[in-house]
Each structure stands twice: as C-alpha cells, then as structure tokens.
Amino acid sequence: MTGQAASGPVPAICVRDLRKTYGGRNAVDGLNLTVPQGSFFGFLGPNGAGKSTTIRMLTGLIPATSGSIELLGLRMPEDELAIKRRIGLVPDESMLFDRLTGLEFLEFVGRMYSLDRGLARKRGEELLELFELANEKRKLISEYSKGMRKRIAMAASLIHRPDLFLMDEPFEGVDAVGARLMKDILLDLVRRGATIFLTSHVLEVVERLCDHVAIIHQGRIVAEGRLEELRAGSETLEDVFVRTVGADREYDGGRLEWLTEARGGAGG
C-alpha cells in the first residue's frame, strides 16, 4: 500500500524523544517507538500510562511539547493533511454525530475524505452490511448501543481505505459476536498490507491478534518487541505485562479477614 525507499519500506510510525507536558508533569516522557509497516502492533500500559495521549499526538488532535513524529514517512505537523488522508482513527471516546443515521454518518465521513457522493453512499452501504448494521441504517446513532457505536466508528475509519489504522480500545463494550467480526476484519486488513496500531486493556485479545507489542509505563516505553521475544519460558502476555510495569504482587486474602472468613449456613 505504501512506497519504499532504497533501504526498504519506511516505518508506519516513527517517534523520537516525544514528550507531552501538562502542568509540569510529563504524560508522555521521551517516547521512542518504531512500528513496521504491515504489522499488527499492540500498544499497552496501565491506566494513565500515556497511551491515549500518544494516539492524540499521532493524529494531530493535540500538539507534542517536543520530539518528532513521522507516519508513513510524513512528518507531523508539517504534513498533517497528507497524513490524515492515509490514516483511519477509532478513538477511545466515539466522536460520532448522534443526530445522523449510520448511513448518513458514513456518507459524511466519506465526503470529508473527498469521495464523491455516489461512491461515499455505496461504500457506506457496503460497510453497514459488513459490520452487520444494515438493518439499523435508518436508526439515529444516538439510539445505538455502545457496541454498535464502536462498530460504526470502525466502519468510518475504513471508508477511505487508509494505510494505517490507529485504534484506541476498539473492542470496549462490544459483545463477543461483534468483537469476533471486528477482529476478523482487522486481521484481513493486515494480511492485505495495512498497519494497525492498537491499544486495549484486554490482553488476551492483544495476544491473539498482535505480532509486535510495546508497553508504556509512566510515559516511557519499558518493553518492546515481538511477542515471542518478550515472553520468558511459558509466560503469557499478562505475565509479561504485570512483571514489566512492576505490579507483580500476589493477592493477600488475609488482609480482609471479614471477606474471606468461612461462611455459615443459610440460617447462620
């Protein structure tokens, strides 16, 4: 999907010494990250680690305090418009227009990416069918469930056929059937050459989908590589995550004796 330099394909994402400061505190603190083209990349971290802030800087929603960002060989913010034409975004907080129907919203997004009206409508109808929302195309988005909102947001991210997808918790609130459909679509996109940069708190999903992983903690990358490189022995991704962010402590049931003491019978 993307061009190649003499030394090979440029990274889908290349971030160097990236910082974002709020009130003297670094939400992102000297981040260095390289995401290969064609990869399914999991970007993990505990709450408040800097994941969403990083994605907002990558998409130009907020400016970086310092450092450099390149997406698909283009620099942010100098090439921001060219970058936005080639990326698809599924934000953590669904930025949808509640007074539009699903089809109207997809048509609007397509028109924003300079698709002509007929093509935008055709692709919108096909995406509603793909995401099993065709029967709801006249329903206002304000009437959608959370899972439906996530599906329409992902559908909108596809309509202009981007090279790079940035997805912040795309499966949150989605039921098992919808999540399975979304995962199959994403895996097919990667097989066809797209790059997906994904955040998720559901580590089993990341372990099943992603071939590369980076873990951010307190605004810094603390582990990065292929999954098989990060695991030690029979470790799961959850084991790696807990060990890496320093939260590896065992549950001590004795601290709340009233909760764990033996219970009496029904009349006890």
pLDDT tens for the 268 residues of the chain, in order: 444 444 568 999 999 999 999 999 999 999 999 999 999 999 999 999 999 999 999 999 999 999 999 999 999 999 999 999 999 999 877 679 999 999 999 999 999 999 999 999 999 999 999 999 999 888 999 999 999 999 999 999 999 999 999 999 999 889 999 999 999 999 999 999 999 999 988 899 999 999 999 999 999 999 999 988 998 888 999 999 998 997 656 666 667 777 777 777 655 4
Quote the pLDDT of residue 5: 43
Asked if residue 256 is part of any domain, the answer here is no
Asked if residue 258 is part of any domain, the answer here is no
Asked if residue 57 is part of any domain, the answer here is yes
Quote the pLDDT of residue 163: 96
Q: In this structure, what are the phi and psi dihedrals at residue 89, rounded to the nearest 5 degrees?
A: -125, 130
Peptide bond into 63 cis (omega under 30): no
Quote the pLDDT of residue 233: 85
CB distance 193 to 38 below 8 Å: yes
Quote the pLDDT of residue 263: 77
Residue 56 belongs to what domain range? 9-246
The domain spanning residue 211 has which CATH number?
3.40.50.300
Q: Say how far apart CA 113 and CA 102 lie, in whole Å.
A: 17
Q: Say how far apart CA 78 and CA 266 lie, in whole Å.
A: 69
Asked if residue 259 is part of any domain, the answer here is no
Structurally, the chain folds into a number of domains equal to 1
**Taking the model in full, what pTM does it have?**
0.88
Q: Say how far apart CA 223 and CA 213 lie, in whole Å.
A: 8
Asked if residue 267 is part of any domain, the answer here is no
Asked if residue 81 is part of any domain, the answer here is yes
Quote the pLDDT of residue 7: 57
Q: Say how far apart CA 30 and CA 17 lie, in whole Å.
A: 4
Asked if residue 47 is part of any domain, the answer here is yes
Q: Say how far apart CA 196 and CA 43 lie, in whole Å.
A: 10
Asked if residue 257 is part of any domain, the answer here is no
